Amino acid sequence: MMTTIRGFFVGWLVLLAGQLWAQAPAVLRGRVLDAETHQPIPNAQVGVANNRIGTSTNDDGRFVLNIPPAYARERLTVALLGYRNYSQPLPELPGPELLIALKIAPAALGEVRVAGSVLSIVREAVARIPANYPGRPTRLEGFFRESDEELDRHQYRYLGEAVLKVLKAPYTQPKNDGEIVIKQSRKVDLRLQHKTGLLQEGWYAGPFIPHRFDFVHNRLDFINEADFKNYDYKLADITTYNDRPVYVITFGPKPKNNHADFEGRLYIDQQSYAFLAAEWHRTPTGIRHDFMPRNFEAEVRAYRTEYQFYAGRWHLKSVWYNTVGTGATHVRLRHLVEFLTTAIDTAQGPKPGYIEKAQFRDVFRQNAVRYDSAFWRNYTTLLPPEQLRHALREQERQQQAELLFAAQAAPASTNKSTKSPLWKVLERLRTGSVGSLLPLHATAADLSLSFAPPGSTFLAQAQRQTPARDAAFAGGWFVGSLQLDFTKTLSAYYSARQVRGSFQGQSLEIGATYEHNFNPRHRPILGRIGVAYFNQRVGYDFGTFDNADEGLRVAGTKLNADRISVAVQQFSEGWMPRLGLGVEVTHHLEVVADAGLLLPWRTRSELHLAEESGFFLGRNEVDLALPAAGATVLVNNAPGAAPWSLGRPVLTLGILYRLL
C-alpha cells in the first residue's frame, strides 16, 4: 500500500514538472518579469506565429512551450493588460531559460474623453461582437486543470489535468453551447485513506468551462441588454494591451437592486470595442440564485476570462474559475478550474461523434480516457506554481509517515476498494418514469353493486354504466421504476404504475433485462430482452360512501374512516416476456420501448375498498376476492363477472436516469 501511494505522488510530481526537465530540442522555457520590480508576472499571454500556438505564465511567471519545427523561425510575442507588447524572434533551441522583462505602459484616465455614458461603451462592444469574434465554428485545443483543496489544512484532495478539443459555435449563436472532447487526461486522488463518503466523487461539467464562462459568447447578464437596468457601470481607468488603449469598466448592482448576480471589471479595446477580458464574481444574491449542491454552501464564486487576437478575430484564450465553500463535512474547500488555449484552428472539420463527446453531467475524475505518458511528454501545459508542487511534496511525506505507522499497527491490511457499499449501489442504480398501453377488452354494460358486510352497519349500493374500451393507460411517476445494473448488460428492475382514465387500478412488475449494444462505435442503440412477474388490477369506481361503523373489518383489515370508496376490479397475475429497444440520449439518460406478452396464470374479480378520510399516510385499503359474503354484483341485471378483461400484448415506453 505504501509503495502504491508513493508511486502515485512521485509519478504525479514527475508529470507536473516533466516539462521543466525535458531536454527535447523543440521546448522553449521562459520566465516573464516586471522590468522595474523584477517580480514574476502571472497570466501573461505567450504566443508564436501570431498566436496560432501559445500558452500563459503561471503564478511564478514561468512558461513552457513546445515549438513544432514549422514554427522555428516565427516570432515570440508576450502580451498582458497594462504592459507594453513584447516581441522577438524565437531563440535557438534547446537553450537556457529565456528571461523576458515587460515594461508598464501607463495611460491616464484624463487623456481620453468618453462621448456619452459608460453604458454606451458596453452597448457598442456588444453590438460589435459579430465583427470582432468568429462568425464561423472554431476549434480550440487547450489545457485543462481542476483541483480540490482543504483550505484549513492546506492539503489537496484531488488534482486532474486534460487536453481538450473545444468546438466553439459562431459568436452570432449565443444559445449554441458547442462541444467538448477529452483528448487525454491524467488525474490523482490525494485522499486514498479517506474515500469513504458520498462526497468524494467530484464535480461535474468542469471541462465545459470554455463554454460556460465565455461571457462574450453567452452574453452573460452584465453584457446583456435585458439586464443592463440592474447594473451600474463606471469608467475606472484606461490601460493598454498590445500598445493600444483599453477601457477598464467596473460594474455592479444598482443600489437596492436584488436582481444583479455579478460584480466585476470589463476590459474593452478603445478602437475596436472588442471585449479583451473580464474578471467578476457572484454577489450574495448571485450565490443564492446559482445552482449548487444542497450539501455545499458557497462563499466565493469568482471567474476570469481572457481573449487573444488571431486571424482577424478575437478567440478565447483562458478561463479561471474559483469556488470556495463548506461541504456537508464542515470542511472549507477550494475548487479551482483552469483552461488555457494552446492552439487555434479556424478550418472547418467533421463534428465529433457521440462516443467522443464529453457530456455536461459527466464527472471529470470518473472519465475513462486512458493515460498516455508519451503524449504528455510532448504537450504544452500550464506549469503548476511552485506552491502547488511544494504542497504535493509535503503531502507525499505525510502520507508515507501515516502509512508506515498504520502498517506497523495492522500489518495484515490490504489495499481494498475504499468506496462505501452504498456508493457502489448508487453507481448501479437507475430510476425513471414508465408508461404502458394495456389491451383492455371492455364492453358497455349496466353494473349494480350492493355490499353489506355481515355484522356491520356499513352499506354501499350504486349503479354504473361502464364504457366500451379497447385499451387503458398505466403510468408511473419519476420514481415509479427502479433498475439495478449487475453488469453493463444484465439488470433487475421494479416498476409500479397506476391505470388512469375511466378505468383505474394498479400494476406491478419485477423482472430482469439483458441489453446488447448494436452500435458500439456511436450512440448506443440497445436491443433488450427480458422476463417479468406481473400483477395487474383494472377496476371501475362505484363512488364513496359514509361509514358509521368504527369497528368495520373486511378480510381482516380495519376500515374505520368516515368515508370509504368502493370499486369493482379484475385482478391478473403471471409472466410477461419482453422484447424492445433502448437509445442512450446522454450518459445518464436512456429512452426505452418494450413490447410484452401477458401470460396470466390466475385471474379473479375483486372489490377494492379504501379509506378516503383521515391522515393520508395512515389510510388502509383492502382487495376482497369475489364472490364474498354480503357482496352482490349484477351485470345487465344478472349475476356475472366484471365485463372487462386484459388482453395479451403490452406496449411500454419509458425513460431511465442514472443517479451517478
The per-residue pLDDT of the chain, averaged, comes to 85
Same domain, 59 and 73: yes
DSSP state of 154: T
Q: Has residue 14 got a pLDDT over 70? A: no
Q: pLDDT by residue (tens digit) across 502-558?
A: 899 999 999 999 999 999 888 999 999 999 999 999 999 999 999 989 889 998 899
Q: What burial letters (b/e) apply to 147-161, b meaning 16+ CB within 10 Å?
A: bbbbeeeebbbbbbb
233 falls within a domain: yes
Give the distance from CA 574 to its chain's centroid: 40
The pLDDT value given to residue 310: 92
The pLDDT value given to residue 400: 56
Task: Decide: 186 and 160 in contact? Cβ < 8 Å.
Answer: yes
**Residues near 401 by beta carbon (within 8 Å), at least 6 away in sequence:** none
The pLDDT value given to residue 197: 43
388 falls within a domain: no
Query: Per mean pLDDT, which range of 195-204, 343-352, 625-634 is the poorest?
Result: 195-204
Same domain, 319 and 449: no
Give the pLDDT band of residue 201 (cuts 50, 70, 90): low
- Determine what percent of the chain is predicted with pLDDT higher than 90: 47
Task: Decide: 656 and 590 in contact? Cβ < 8 Å.
Answer: yes
Query: What's the CA gap between 319 and 164, in Å, rounded?
Result: 13
Give the pLDDT band of residue 298 (cuts 50, 70, 90): confident
Query: What's the CA gap between 249 and 119, in Å, rounded?
Result: 9
> Residue 470: which of 538, 418, 526 has the closest Cα?
538
The pLDDT value given to residue 250: 96
514 falls within a domain: yes
394 falls within a domain: no
Same domain, 225 and 297: yes
Same domain, 182 and 144: yes
Q: Has residue 452 got a pLDDT over 50? A: yes
**Number of domains the chain is built from:** 3
Same domain, 89 and 120: no
Please give the sequence-ordered ranges of beta strands (E in DSSP) within 80-171, or none if there are none: 86-89, 98-102, 138-150, 155-168
DSSP secondary structure, 221-275, as one string: GGG-GGGGGGEEEEEEEEEEETTEEEEEEEEEEPTT-S---EEEEEEEETTT--E
423 SS3 class: helix
The pLDDT of 596-615, averaged and rounded, is 91
Q: In which residue are the cell numbers 488525474 written?
A: 187
365 falls within a domain: yes
418 falls within a domain: no
Same domain, 117 and 99: no
Same domain, 470 and 350: no
422 falls within a domain: no
Query: Per mean pLDDT, which range of 81-85, 114-118, 128-132, 297-301 is the poorest?
Result: 114-118
Q: How many CB atoms lie within 10 A of CB 611?
A: 23
Query: What's the CA gap between 38 and 36, in Å, rounded?
Result: 6
**Residues near 628 by beta carbon (within 8 Å), at least 6 away in sequence:** 607
Cα angle, residue 326 at apex, residues 360 and 659 outer, rounded to 5°: 35
Task: Decide: 169 and 177 in contact? Cβ < 8 Å.
Answer: yes
Same domain, 73 and 180: no
The pLDDT of 610-615, averaged and rounded, is 86
**Residues near 660 by beta carbon (within 8 Å), at least 6 away in sequence:** 201, 423, 426, 427, 429
The pLDDT of 234-263, averaged and rounded, is 92
> Residue 498: which of 523, 517, 479 has the closest Cα?
479
Q: What is the CATH number of the domain that holds 640?
A: 2.40.160.20
Among the candidates 374, 409, 444, a domain finishes at 409
Task: Decide: 54 and 341 in contact? Cβ < 8 Å.
Answer: yes
Task: Decide: 234 and 257 in contact? Cβ < 8 Å.
Answer: no
Same domain, 134 and 228: yes
**Domain coverage including residue 354:** 112-383
Same domain, 233 and 366: yes
Residue 4 burial by Cβ neighbours in a 10 Å radius (0-12, 13-18, 19+) = exposed
Q: What burial letters (b/e) apply to 44-62, b meaning 16+ CB within 10 Å?
A: bbbbbbebbbbbbbbebbb
Q: What is the CATH number of the domain that holds 95?
A: 2.60.40.1120
Same domain, 237 and 282: yes
Same domain, 79 and 165: no
162 falls within a domain: yes
Query: What's the CA gap between 157 and 189, in Å, rounded?
Result: 6
Task: Decide: 144 and 320 in contact? Cβ < 8 Å.
Answer: no
The pLDDT value given to residue 478: 55
